[in-house]
Amino acid sequence: MPHQTFFNLPDAKRSRVLAALKAEFAAHPYTQGSVDRVTAAAGISKGSFYQYFEDKRDAYAHLVGELMAARLQVAGTPVPQAGLAEVLTAQVHASHDFHARDPLGWAVLCRAFSDDSPVDPTATGAAATLHQWAVAAVTAGQRSGELRDDVEPETAAWLVERVLTGLPQHVMGRFGVTPEAAAADGSAFDRPQIDRVAADAVAMLVRALAPAEP
């Protein structure tokens, strides 16, 4: 956890530090991220950095935690009563919205899920909630007969999360959008082809979890 000094900071300065952290870990995976570059970008001294944070990991964990919270706020956690297709589509759209709102933050979370991160984003408080929510949603769906019940809820939830979390990177790779470009151009994802990919993925997930036809 960051030291109190960090929270005592004037808002402007604190958000400058957060922005610098975000830019750094959007451009580099955790181990490659440099405290020196962060302090230079934030316009603070290295000594100050270590008065704000316990260490590099502490700063990174705080950043990821904040971003996960923001991401979850966009997505909305409560188990909805809608059908699975609607829920999944909403998740995909939430990812899209979050990217449009905070492209750098989105890139950081992408990395946190794929690179070697000292912080397991699925264990970072809010996101553990996300996973439990997914498992709960699947279990509930199974009980109501809306979802097939011949697979373990854990496995089903994993598969859904696995596909959803990989989707952004897949479309980026497939359509040649780099994280930097995506960050610079908020509309880089406004393409019908990309919507098509997302729709296909959702359709396949829905079918994967649908109960067997009698």
Q: How far is the CB of 133 from a copy of itself (least distance, A)?
A: 17
CA separation for the pair 137, 129 (Å, rounded): 12
Stretch that binds DNA, among 28-36, 163-171, 187-195, 204-212 (CB under 7 A): 28-36
* Partner in contact with 151, chosen from a copy of itself, DNA, none, beta carbon below 5 to 8 Å by kind: a copy of itself
Which alpha helices (H) appear in the chain, and where do they start and end? 4-8, 11-27, 35-42, 46-52, 56-75, 84-101, 103-114, 126-143, 153-174, 179-184, 192-209
Identify which of 16, 3, 4 has the alpha carbon closest to the alpha carbon of residue 44.
16
Q: How far is the CB of 154 from a copy of itself (least distance, A)?
A: 7
Applying CB under 8 A, among 86, 180, 190, 200 the residue interacting with a copy of itself is 200
Restricting to residues 34-73, name those near DNA by CB under 7 A.
34-37, 44-48, 50-51, 55-57
CA separation for the pair 22, 14 (Å, rounded): 12
Cβ partners under 8 Å of residue 15, min gap 6: none
Stretch that binds a copy of itself, among 52-60, 67-75, 128-136, 195-203 (CB under 8 A): 195-203
Site map 156..175 versus a copy of itself, x via CB under 8 A: x-xx--xx--x---x---x-
The answer to whether the Cα torsion of 71, 160, 27, 30 is positive or negative is positive
Q: How far is the CB of 87 from a copy of itself (least distance, A)?
A: 16
Identify which of 180, 87, 72 has the alpha carbon closest to the alpha carbon of residue 121.
72
Q: How far is the CB of 123 from DNA (least distance, A)?
A: 20
Count of beta carbons in the 10 Å neighbourhood of residue 111 = 23
Residues that bind DNA (CB under 7 A): 4-5, 8-9, 13, 33-37, 44-48, 50-51, 55-57
Binding residues for a copy of itself, rule: CB under 8 A, are 29, 31-32, 114-116, 148, 150-152, 154-156, 158-159, 162-163, 166, 170, 174, 196-197, 200-201, 203-205, 207-210, 213
